[in-house]
Structure formats: C-alpha cells, structure tokens
Structure 1
Amino acid sequence: MELSGQIERITFTNEENGFTIAKVKVHGRRDLVTVVGNIVAPTPGKIIKMQGEWVNHPKFGEQFKVAEYKTVIPATVYGIRKYLGSSLIKGVGPVMADRIVNRFGEKTLKIIENDIERLKEVEDAPS
C-alpha cells in the first residue's frame, strides 16, 4: 500500500539505525497517522511517499509500517514554511522561515538552492 504525507512531528528516532516513530499528515485523512519504520533524518515538514502496510500495535493502535519511502520536495507555501522552520538551515527557525517564505513564496527552495545570496533581501536572515 502507498501513502503520501508531510511529517508533522517526530515522536521518537534512533539516530544509529534510523528507526523512527512520527506523526504524518496524510493526504485525504483528517487525523494524523502514526508512521513507524526506518526514515533517515526525519524532520517536520519533510514530505514522504511511503510503501508499507497497516499494522495494529497492541498498545499504541493503528500504525503504518514503512517498508520503503522517498522524500518529496514540498511545493506549497505551508510545506516550505514547515520544512525550513524545522532547523534544516542553521539559524532558521519558525520565525525566520515565515519571513523567508513570505518574501519568496513557492519559489523559496529554488532561490535557496540556486541564488542563496538573495536571502539578504530578508530582514535578519542568516548570512
């Protein structure tokens, strides 16, 4: 089965082996989905397309067990804001992410990748 969604928060991660428990906002579902499996460097805002299966944990209930996944670059302003605000870039937290995304909108990630000097256009942006 395939699910796609955006990581909202990390409940647990083992940096040695990548085992992660995360809450994911899945397209078409109202409630967050608990996702378990090996996800490298999970961060809130990261969008992932997952292959796996639904399992019912005796203590924690319904979970999606990830067999494999791919990272998808966020395309919406909300996704980019969440992605940047997750400490992806040193010195950029939620407030600075808001400023950057408010300035560049959906082009934010392309600007960071191709013309990072333009961040100087944003007040108090890291240099």
Structure 2
Amino acid sequence: MEQIVVRGIAERLLFEAPDSDYRVFRLHDEDDDATYTVTGHGTKPLVGDRLEVKGHWVQHKRYGRQFAADGWSRIIPESVDGIERFLGSGAIKGMGPALAHRVVAAFGKDTMAVLEKDPQRLLEVEGIGPKKLAVITESFYEEKQVNDIAYDL
C-alpha cells in the first residue's frame, strides 16, 4: 500500500487507549483545508500541534473514511506566532503562554535555534533563572527525542 504524507494541525484527541499508545484524533489538513480522523500508535498529540503524519486511507465500516497512520512527528512552526503557540502549548515544561511570548519577543524566528544551540541565552529573558533554564532545556531535549520533532535549523 502506498504511503502518503499529510501535514496539519491537531484539533482534538478523540480516543486514547488506556493500555497502549493507540490514539484517534482530528487533524486539520494544511493543504486542502479539510479535517479528518487519524488513527494509529504514537505519542499523544497536543491540541494545536503541527504534525507530519505518514500512512494511508482506510474505510472503517462503522466510522467511515480515516487516515491510518504509521506514525507522526511534530513539526516546529516557522512563523513567530506558530513558535509562540508551540512553546506556550505545554509541550515544553516550565514555559507557559506568557513566558513563551517573552522568549519569542526576545529571539523572534531564531527562538528554536537558541533553544537548540545556545539555550544559555534564555537567561536574558525576564523570569528565567538557572533553575527554570534547566527545566526548559531538559524538557526541550526530551520532547525533541521522544516525539522526533522535525525541524530545519
């Protein structure tokens, strides 16, 4: 079966198996402005996550047309607004919406590069001290590793 790649924004988690990493969620496709159901095994997508999903279309006898995912990964947004939404979404421990706003205001489109390559610069932002920096940095690397964040620095 031919594998298809779609990109979109996670809108809502519909189902989460209590005994496995099986998930069902709604994805708003960036290309055709459609919203559809994605099923598969993987890390829990957060509402607002920009995802790249690989898989194929199936017809479920009860739920209709669905995208059966072989896997998905988060895509780091490229716009300043998108970076701020991502950082403030809860994906990175220690950083809520207000702090994400200050960090992005300080570093703009370079924010993700700062987090990846020079996180000590976060100390320039009001509200970030050594302890908070350690939490943010550890969480960022964990998130990157666990969720296979796809981005281009």
For the pair shown, the structure with the greater C-alpha radius of gyration is 2
In the alignment, structure 2 segments of 5+ residues that lack a partner are 134-153
Q: Which moved more, 1:111-120 or 1:32-41?
A: 32-41
Matches within 5 A, 1:3-42: 3-14=6-17, 16-42=19-45
1:12 counterpart letter in structure 2: F
> Across the two proteins, how many residue pairs are aligned to each other?
127
Q: Give the root-mean-square deviation of aligned CA atoms.
A: 2.6
TM-score (norm 2): 0.65
Q: Would the alpha carbon gap of residues 25 and 102 (structure 1) be closer, same or farther in structure 2, given more than 3 Å must change? A: farther
Q: CA deviation at 1:32?
A: 3.2
Matched, 1:124 2:114: no
Matched, 1:76 2:79: yes
Q: CA deviation at 1:113?
A: 1.5
Moved beyond 4 Å, runs of 4+? 56-61
Matched, 1:93 2:93: no
Question: SS state of the match for residue 87, structure 1?
Answer: coil
Report what 2:141 is aligned to. none
Report % sequence identity: 33
TM-score (norm 1): 0.75
Name whichever structure is richer in strand by fraction. Answer: 1
Q: Which moved more, 1:19-28 or 1:8-17?
A: 8-17
